[in-house]
Amino acid sequence: MRKLSLFLLLLFILTNASAQKATDYRKQQNYKEWVHIAPKFDDDFFKTEEAQRIGDNVLLYQQTTGGWPKNIYMPAELTEQEYNAALKAKKDTNQSTIDNNATTTEIEYLSRLYLATQKEKYKEGVLNGIQYLLKSQYENGGWPQFYPRPKGYYVQITYNDNAMVRVMNQLRSIYEKKAPYTFLPNKICEQARNAFNKGIECILKTQVRQNGELTVWCAQHDRVTLEPCKARAYELPSLSGQESDNIVLLLMSLPHPSADVVKSIEGAIKWFQKSEIKGIQKEYFTNSDGKKDYRMVPCEDCPTLWARFYDLETNRPFFCDRDGIKKYDISEIGHERRNGYSWYNKDGSKVLKRYEKWKKEQNK
């Protein structure tokens, strides 16, 4: 009896700790936090009433397409006005997107909630969300940023911010029946597998050649021609040292890669190696207007960098303001874009490190 009492007390403490954590998150009211905190909830949390309250918000914001809009803070306690606005927005299908981790985050959350509660409404939300991902895929295998939005750069095949790769990784988890997708029917899993394979085909077809050599990818590719294309004014057609890293990591994760996949990986690795930027790093300072700013300065033994954008012809790193004019030095663009966008990254190092292991695996 005493052991049972201790067990119930421990369960009560853990459950309330999870609920308190959710309540603390709720107070933040920061829409950008949702996609970061949602995957961090532990399994015990999904057994709480708070988890279901959030899950009901997730269902409320699910649009008639099956997808979700981005930048919604799902744990918020909604006023009647906010609830009615969300209800009305369900029919605004132009807002359904895979941008900023939208839709994939909600599918995962509802899947975990269904496993904990066995409530059919959460399962239905998952199935509708997966169907949205399947419907929004182009015949050529690519995914647009928004669907079914009819025009704008949103309709192009979108690698930007890991959008397409994130969808593909979720579909792979689905057809492999990894947690929390263990409850999905075989038909859905097979559809997910087919969509994933088409996505790989699209990746291979969109890899850019420079002087006849395979390189990497642009952040966006034209949905018809598959050529690199522009998005926002400062996001010009380019070779992307930011978005291409996760594409290569995805390709290297494939078991028994085909000859075409191997060629793709090898071409991308050569590009990452020749496009390294060494001997410079950021130095922060306060400018004459009292604003925090940075400049690139020489350094020794500092991490290797890659630029976000490289010229399609010359492979020279470039930077851009909202006027859409290429600049070849970060100091030549304005403070707002210099500090409001990620122009350099270190992620290529992860690719090169993983390649060493991948190469050994292929030679076994």
Which residues does the annotation mark as catalytic? 100, 232
In three-state form (DSSP H/G/I as H, E/B as E, the rest C), the secondary structure along 61-76 is: HCCCCCCECCCCCCCC
Provide the CA 88 distance to its chain's centre, in angstroms. Answer: 27
The alpha carbon torsion through 128, 129, 131, 136 (nearest 10 deg) reads 140
Before 255, cis peptide (omega within 30)?
no
Among candidate residues 177, 40, 156, 21, the one with its CA nearest the CA of residue 98: 156
- Report the length, in residues, of the chain: 364
Tell me how far apart the alpha carbons of residues 73 and 81 are, in angstroms, rounded to a whole number.
Answer: 16
Q: What angle do CA 138, 67, 205 make, to 5 degrees?
A: 20
The alpha carbon torsion through 285, 286, 291, 297 (nearest 10 deg) reads -30
Q: What angle do CA 123, 59, 189 make, to 5 degrees?
A: 35
Among candidate residues 145, 7, 132, 113, the one with its CA nearest the CA of residue 67: 132
DSSP 242: T
The sign one gets for the Cα dihedral 113, 118, 121, 123 is positive
CB atoms within 10 A of CB 155: 19
Alpha helices in the chain (DSSP H): 2-28, 34-37, 49-61, 80-89, 104-117, 120-136, 163-175, 186-206, 244-252, 259-274, 335-339, 348-362
Tell me how far apart the alpha carbons of residues 363 and 165 are, in angstroms, rounded to a whole number.
Answer: 26
